[in-house]
Amino acid sequence: MASLRVDVLTTFPRAFDGFLDASLLGKARAAGIVEVRVHDLRAWAAEPQRRTDDYAYGGGPGMVLRVEPIVAAVEELRQADGWVGLLTPQAPPLTQPRVQALARRGQLILICGRYEGVDDRVRPLVVDEEISVGDYVLSGGEAAAMVVIDAAARLAPGVVGAAASLQGESHAAGRLSHPQFTRPEEFRGLRAPAVLLSGHHQRVAQWRRAQGLHRTQHLRPDLLVQRGLSNDERALMHQYPPIDTPPPP
Protein backbone atom coordinates (compact mmCIF):
# COMPACT_ATOMS: atom_id res chain seq x y z
CA MET A 1 0.00 0.00 0.00
CA ALA A 2 1.23 3.51 -0.83
CA SER A 3 2.54 5.47 2.19
CA LEU A 4 0.86 8.60 0.83
CA ARG A 5 -2.35 8.74 -1.17
CA VAL A 6 -3.52 12.02 -2.68
CA ASP A 7 -6.93 12.64 -4.21
CA VAL A 8 -7.24 15.90 -6.14
CA LEU A 9 -10.62 17.46 -6.87
CA THR A 10 -10.45 19.78 -9.84
CA THR A 11 -12.43 21.12 -12.77
CA PHE A 12 -9.22 21.04 -14.85
CA PRO A 13 -7.83 17.50 -14.49
CA ARG A 14 -5.68 17.87 -17.62
CA ALA A 15 -3.60 20.48 -15.78
CA PHE A 16 -1.88 17.57 -14.01
CA ASP A 17 -0.78 15.84 -17.23
CA GLY A 18 2.98 15.59 -17.34
CA PHE A 19 3.48 16.76 -13.77
CA LEU A 20 2.50 13.39 -12.31
CA ASP A 21 4.93 11.43 -14.48
CA ALA A 22 7.96 13.66 -14.14
CA SER A 23 11.09 13.02 -12.11
CA LEU A 24 10.91 11.95 -8.44
CA LEU A 25 7.12 11.95 -8.26
CA GLY A 26 6.82 9.82 -11.39
CA LYS A 27 9.27 7.29 -9.93
CA ALA A 28 7.53 7.30 -6.54
CA ARG A 29 4.20 6.60 -8.23
CA ALA A 30 5.69 3.87 -10.41
CA ALA A 31 7.19 2.26 -7.28
CA GLY A 32 3.81 2.43 -5.50
CA ILE A 33 5.16 4.65 -2.68
CA VAL A 34 2.88 7.55 -3.59
CA GLU A 35 -0.53 7.27 -5.22
CA VAL A 36 -2.14 10.32 -6.81
CA ARG A 37 -5.66 10.27 -8.25
CA VAL A 38 -6.95 13.30 -10.09
CA HIS A 39 -10.74 13.52 -10.13
CA ASP A 40 -12.89 15.67 -12.38
CA LEU A 41 -15.39 17.38 -10.11
CA ARG A 42 -18.01 17.08 -12.86
CA ALA A 43 -18.39 13.41 -11.97
CA TRP A 44 -20.21 14.53 -8.80
CA ALA A 45 -22.25 17.32 -10.44
CA ALA A 46 -25.93 16.78 -11.20
CA GLU A 47 -27.14 15.70 -14.62
CA PRO A 48 -27.93 16.84 -17.27
CA GLN A 49 -25.46 19.74 -17.41
CA ARG A 50 -23.00 18.65 -14.70
CA ARG A 51 -22.38 22.26 -13.75
CA THR A 52 -19.73 22.71 -11.12
CA ASP A 53 -19.97 26.51 -10.91
CA ASP A 54 -22.66 29.15 -10.67
CA TYR A 55 -23.14 32.91 -10.31
CA ALA A 56 -22.24 34.48 -6.97
CA TYR A 57 -25.10 35.44 -4.68
CA GLY A 58 -25.00 39.19 -4.29
CA GLY A 59 -23.78 39.69 -7.82
CA GLY A 60 -20.41 40.67 -9.16
CA PRO A 61 -18.18 39.29 -11.88
CA GLY A 62 -16.98 35.71 -12.01
CA MET A 63 -18.30 32.32 -11.03
CA VAL A 64 -18.10 30.33 -7.80
CA LEU A 65 -17.56 26.56 -7.45
CA ARG A 66 -20.69 24.94 -6.08
CA VAL A 67 -20.87 23.24 -2.71
CA GLU A 68 -22.82 20.06 -3.60
CA PRO A 69 -20.35 18.34 -5.96
CA ILE A 70 -17.40 19.11 -3.67
CA VAL A 71 -19.08 17.74 -0.55
CA ALA A 72 -20.36 14.66 -2.43
CA ALA A 73 -16.87 13.95 -3.79
CA VAL A 74 -15.17 14.31 -0.41
CA GLU A 75 -17.76 12.11 1.28
CA GLU A 76 -17.23 9.40 -1.32
CA LEU A 77 -13.42 9.55 -1.42
CA ARG A 78 -12.51 10.19 2.20
CA GLN A 79 -10.90 7.24 3.97
CA ALA A 80 -10.62 6.69 7.72
CA ASP A 81 -7.21 8.45 7.81
CA GLY A 82 -8.27 11.08 5.28
CA TRP A 83 -7.43 14.77 5.65
CA VAL A 84 -9.04 17.46 3.50
CA GLY A 85 -7.21 20.62 2.39
CA LEU A 86 -8.74 23.56 0.56
CA LEU A 87 -6.31 25.51 -1.65
CA THR A 88 -6.88 29.20 -1.07
CA PRO A 89 -4.87 32.44 -1.08
CA GLN A 90 -6.56 33.34 2.23
CA ALA A 91 -4.58 31.04 4.57
CA PRO A 92 -1.14 31.58 6.12
CA PRO A 93 1.53 30.53 3.58
CA LEU A 94 2.63 26.89 3.67
CA THR A 95 5.82 26.07 5.58
CA GLN A 96 8.09 23.02 5.68
CA PRO A 97 6.90 21.93 9.17
CA ARG A 98 3.32 21.90 7.87
CA VAL A 99 4.41 19.91 4.80
CA GLN A 100 6.14 17.43 7.14
CA ALA A 101 2.86 17.01 9.03
CA LEU A 102 0.93 16.52 5.77
CA ALA A 103 3.38 13.86 4.56
CA ARG A 104 2.57 11.80 7.67
CA ARG A 105 -1.14 11.68 6.82
CA GLY A 106 -2.34 8.56 5.05
CA GLN A 107 -4.61 10.35 2.58
CA LEU A 108 -4.71 13.97 1.45
CA ILE A 109 -7.76 15.25 -0.40
CA LEU A 110 -6.96 18.54 -2.11
CA ILE A 111 -9.79 20.80 -3.30
CA CYS A 112 -8.78 23.13 -6.13
CA GLY A 113 -10.78 26.32 -6.44
CA ARG A 114 -11.26 28.30 -9.67
CA TYR A 115 -12.77 31.60 -10.79
CA GLU A 116 -13.84 33.62 -7.72
CA GLY A 117 -13.25 30.64 -5.45
CA VAL A 118 -15.37 28.03 -3.68
CA ASP A 119 -18.78 28.34 -1.96
CA ASP A 120 -17.77 29.12 1.63
CA ARG A 121 -20.03 26.39 3.06
CA VAL A 122 -17.46 23.85 1.86
CA ARG A 123 -15.14 24.95 4.69
CA PRO A 124 -17.26 24.03 7.73
CA LEU A 125 -18.67 20.94 6.05
CA VAL A 126 -15.57 19.05 4.87
CA VAL A 127 -12.32 21.04 5.16
CA ASP A 128 -9.70 20.19 7.81
CA GLU A 129 -7.19 22.88 6.85
CA GLU A 130 -6.82 25.70 4.36
CA ILE A 131 -3.58 25.93 2.45
CA SER A 132 -1.99 28.82 0.63
CA VAL A 133 1.25 28.49 -1.31
CA GLY A 134 2.06 32.18 -0.90
CA ASP A 135 0.69 35.66 -0.62
CA TYR A 136 -0.28 36.07 -4.26
CA VAL A 137 -3.31 34.97 -6.30
CA LEU A 138 -3.24 32.12 -8.81
CA SER A 139 -6.02 31.60 -11.32
CA GLY A 140 -6.75 28.14 -9.91
CA GLY A 141 -5.83 25.75 -7.12
CA GLU A 142 -4.21 23.24 -9.49
CA ALA A 143 -0.73 24.79 -9.47
CA ALA A 144 -0.98 25.12 -5.68
CA ALA A 145 -2.04 21.46 -5.36
CA MET A 146 1.02 20.46 -7.40
CA VAL A 147 3.20 22.38 -4.96
CA VAL A 148 1.66 20.52 -2.01
CA ILE A 149 1.92 17.12 -3.74
CA ASP A 150 5.55 17.66 -4.76
CA ALA A 151 6.64 18.92 -1.34
CA ALA A 152 4.81 16.16 0.60
CA ALA A 153 5.65 13.28 -1.75
CA ARG A 154 9.41 13.82 -1.54
CA LEU A 155 9.18 13.36 2.24
CA ALA A 156 7.47 9.97 1.95
CA PRO A 157 9.96 7.27 3.03
CA GLY A 158 11.92 5.95 0.06
CA VAL A 159 11.16 8.77 -2.39
CA VAL A 160 14.37 10.75 -1.94
CA GLY A 161 17.20 8.19 -2.16
CA ALA A 162 19.28 9.30 0.84
CA ALA A 163 17.23 10.35 3.86
CA ALA A 164 20.27 12.36 5.02
CA SER A 165 19.87 14.71 2.07
CA LEU A 166 16.46 15.76 3.46
CA GLN A 167 17.93 16.61 6.87
CA GLY A 168 20.36 19.24 5.58
CA GLU A 169 17.84 20.91 3.30
CA SER A 170 16.68 24.48 3.51
CA HIS A 171 13.89 24.88 6.09
CA ALA A 172 14.32 21.36 7.52
CA ALA A 173 15.89 22.85 10.67
CA GLY A 174 14.82 26.48 10.45
CA ARG A 175 17.75 27.58 8.30
CA LEU A 176 18.85 27.59 4.66
CA SER A 177 21.11 25.03 3.07
CA HIS A 178 24.76 25.68 2.08
CA PRO A 179 25.81 26.66 -1.47
CA GLN A 180 26.59 23.82 -3.90
CA PHE A 181 29.27 23.43 -6.57
CA THR A 182 30.12 20.86 -9.23
CA ARG A 183 32.66 20.56 -12.06
CA PRO A 184 34.52 22.48 -13.47
CA GLU A 185 36.72 23.67 -10.60
CA GLU A 186 36.97 27.08 -12.22
CA PHE A 187 34.55 28.88 -14.51
CA ARG A 188 35.06 32.45 -15.79
CA GLY A 189 37.47 33.18 -12.98
CA LEU A 190 35.19 31.82 -10.24
CA ARG A 191 36.70 28.89 -8.32
CA ALA A 192 34.83 26.28 -6.30
CA PRO A 193 35.85 26.69 -2.64
CA ALA A 194 39.10 24.80 -1.96
CA VAL A 195 37.76 23.15 1.20
CA LEU A 196 35.22 21.20 -0.89
CA LEU A 197 38.06 19.67 -2.90
CA SER A 198 40.19 18.91 0.16
CA GLY A 199 38.68 15.49 0.93
CA HIS A 200 38.60 16.49 4.63
CA HIS A 201 35.10 15.36 5.55
CA GLN A 202 34.87 17.02 8.94
CA ARG A 203 36.03 20.40 7.61
CA VAL A 204 33.63 20.12 4.67
CA ALA A 205 30.73 19.41 7.06
CA GLN A 206 31.67 22.36 9.30
CA TRP A 207 32.15 24.69 6.34
CA ARG A 208 28.76 23.71 4.92
CA ARG A 209 27.01 24.23 8.23
CA ALA A 210 28.63 27.65 8.64
CA GLN A 211 27.76 28.73 5.07
CA GLY A 212 24.13 27.66 5.56
CA LEU A 213 23.98 29.84 8.66
CA HIS A 214 25.62 32.81 6.89
CA ARG A 215 23.12 32.49 4.04
CA THR A 216 20.24 32.37 6.48
CA GLN A 217 21.53 35.44 8.31
CA HIS A 218 21.89 37.35 5.06
CA LEU A 219 18.84 36.18 3.08
CA ARG A 220 16.31 35.13 5.72
CA PRO A 221 17.20 36.74 9.06
CA ASP A 222 13.56 36.21 10.12
CA LEU A 223 14.28 32.46 10.40
CA LEU A 224 17.08 33.12 12.90
CA VAL A 225 14.89 35.40 15.00
CA GLN A 226 12.65 32.39 15.57
CA ARG A 227 15.31 29.77 16.33
CA GLY A 228 18.32 31.86 17.47
CA LEU A 229 22.00 30.94 17.08
CA SER A 230 23.84 28.70 19.53
CA ASN A 231 27.35 29.56 20.80
CA ASP A 232 28.64 26.62 18.79
CA GLU A 233 27.06 28.01 15.61
CA ARG A 234 28.46 31.49 16.25
CA ALA A 235 31.95 30.02 16.70
CA LEU A 236 31.63 28.04 13.48
CA MET A 237 30.48 31.13 11.54
CA HIS A 238 33.49 33.02 12.90
CA GLN A 239 35.86 30.20 11.92
CA TYR A 240 34.40 29.95 8.38
CA PRO A 241 33.47 33.45 7.07
CA PRO A 242 30.87 33.77 4.30
CA ILE A 243 32.26 32.87 0.88
CA ASP A 244 30.50 35.70 -0.84
CA THR A 245 27.54 37.95 -0.39
CA PRO A 246 24.62 36.63 -2.39
CA PRO A 247 22.39 39.34 -3.83
CA PRO A 248 19.77 40.56 -1.35
CA PRO A 249 16.23 39.28 -1.81
Ligand X SMILES: C[S@@+](CC[C@H](N)C(=O)[O-])C[C@H]1O[C@@H](n2cnc3c(N)ncnc32)[C@H](O)[C@@H]1O
Positions touching ligand X (CB under 6 A) are 87-90, 112-114, 116-118, 132-134, 136-141, 144
* CA–CA gap between residue 160 and residue 153 (Å, rounded): 9
- Whichever of 96 and 206 has its CB closer to ligand X, that residue is 96
Strands 63-65, 53-55: pairing kind: antiparallel
**Closest approach of Cβ 86 to ligand X, in Å?**
7
Residue 187 DSSP symbol: E
Residue closest to ligand X, measured at CB: 113
Say if residues 122 and 110 touch (Cβ distance below 8 Å): no
- Whichever of 3 and 132 has its CB closer to ligand X, that residue is 132
- DSSP output for 46-93: PTTT---EEEPTT--SSEEE-HHHHHHHHHHH--TTEEEEEE-TTSPB
**Closest approach of Cβ 81 to ligand X, in Å?**
23
- Whichever of 60 and 249 has its CB closer to ligand X, that residue is 60
- Whichever of 82 and 89 has its CB closer to ligand X, that residue is 89
Burial class (CB in 10 A: 0-12, 13-18, 19+), 66: buried
**Closest approach of Cβ 128 to ligand X, in Å?**
15
Q: Which helix H or strand E contains 216, and what residues bound it?
A: helix 201-219
- Whichever of 140 and 179 has its CB closer to ligand X, that residue is 140
Furthest CA-CA distance within the chain: 71
**Closest approach of Cβ 153 to ligand X, in Å?**
18
**Closest approach of Cβ 93 to ligand X, in Å?**
8
